[in-house]
Amino acid sequence: MFRILRRHIGHLPNPPSRATLAMPDKLAGTSATVSVCPYCAVGCSQLVFVRDGEIIDIEGNPESPINGGTLCPKGAATRGLLQSPLRVTEVLYRAPYASAWERRPLDWAMDRIASLVKQTRDETWREFDDEGVRVSRTLGIGHFGGATLDNEENYLIRKFFTAGLGIVAVENQARI
Arithmetic mean of pLDDT, 66-92: 89
Give Cα separations from 81 to 70, 86, 87, 149 (angstroms): 18, 9, 7, 17
| CA triple 12-17-22, angle to 5 deg | 145
Q: For 23-51, how does the pLDDT look when each residue is reduced to its tens digit (9 = 90+)?
A: 888 888 899 999 999 887 788 999 999 99
Q: Once rounded to an integer, what is the mean pLDDT over residues 160-174?
A: 86
pLDDT score for 68? 87
Output 26-29 pairs: Cβ under 8 A, ≥24 positions apart. Answer: 26/56, 26/57, 27/56, 27/57
pTM of the predicted structure, to 2 decimals: 0.61
DSSP letter string, the chain: -PPP-SSEETTEE-PPPHHHHHS--TTTT-EEEEEE-SSSTT--EEEEEEETTEEEEEEE-TT-TTTTT---HHHHTHHHHHH-TT---EEEE--TT-SS-EEEEHHHHHHHHHHHHHHHHHHHEEEE-TTS-EEEEEEEEEEEE-TT--HHHHHHHHHIIIIIT-EEEEEEPPP-
Residue ranges of the domains in the chain?
8-83, 90-172
Q: Which long-range contacts (CB under 8 A, 24 or more apart) does 156-159 make?
A: none
Per-residue pLDDT, averaged over 68-94, amounts to 89
| pLDDT reported for residue 89 | 87
Of the candidates 69, 51, 99, the residue with the CA atom closest to the CA atom of residue 8: 69
* pLDDT per residue as tens digits for the range 8-18: 555 556 677 78
Its CATH architecture, for the domain 8-83, is 2-Layer Sandwich (3.30)
